[in-house]
Chain A
């Protein structure tokens, strides 16, 4: 099946383009809750799975988009390496293609980079059914526009991801988690100040008056930072960070709406009412509870960021933050440039 997968997929896309019939791209289906509308006949890409090439000493990994994140992490761990953006999966069946398409990065993001920062190349089938490759398998590459990174966060609306190359990194040998009792404003000040110092920070999380800080790096560096920062070392650190990345912590439990406010890391506390969990050194503020969309957006803008209705809630008012008109115009044209028939995941990004 694998040999025919891309030509068959391309034919199917061509056929749908000719009929202007929507396709709903689906990997593991673990992110169906995320994004706006799900429309069209299912285009299952989970079957196109496996590692195409992995050269640990090159720090480069190429995988088929349907490969499960868990399988990738296992292969990397065997070589002492990792995907440094710590991809959240939200389920066993999560695929790397879905994670890239949804632009999901975990707790390490502010210190290591986002999924798009580690994408080196992609192979896609665009909305015309053309099998295209961009970027490559080398760390530095400036030939042509960076269409590969454009695919990160495009929710499949510009093309069906079939293969992706990543830069991978060695897994640091030592890790420690410290806890501090701190109010929100004090936490924002502290984590930003520490981020400006040469400390081996790799994650921050604050909820209910407690800041958790993860240190990762050479064991001597972690020990020195621990001595310098103080706080209380907590023993179950790894489990906590996994719980945060997969949203399994108590904060995320239940079916209520979850707002994601991505704001300036130094933005002052945002009073909205429902409880908040703040990670990414102050840059990512999860708000758990029903708030009016307009209010969430206004608050996010004031904090120099944007608000997304990440899970649940009333999705009629749109899920993503509205774009400035000049940008919306370019988005519309880009969508037409990749998918002129408008058949790839239409409406998944509200208007695209």
Chain B
């Protein structure tokens, strides 16, 4: 039993597969957007904490230029295979450009 405990404690991170399973369950129960969120999350499990914080910061209003935010998206897709999340960030970039939410230079 102690062994069990130690094993859970060693790594308390959820796996991408588990997140995708939860996404399927959410989708089936009628929570499509939650499911999409969990699919994005599944792509982010291996992204280090500091990296996540940097991406979040880049997405905040007035933080990035368009090129910088697109570079963030590209890096996420390239380094972690996070295609959905990258597309989501690209979509944000398009809207930020239209609504002037980028850092002015």
Q: Are A and B bound to each other?
A: no
Q: B interface vs A, CB < 8 Å? A: none
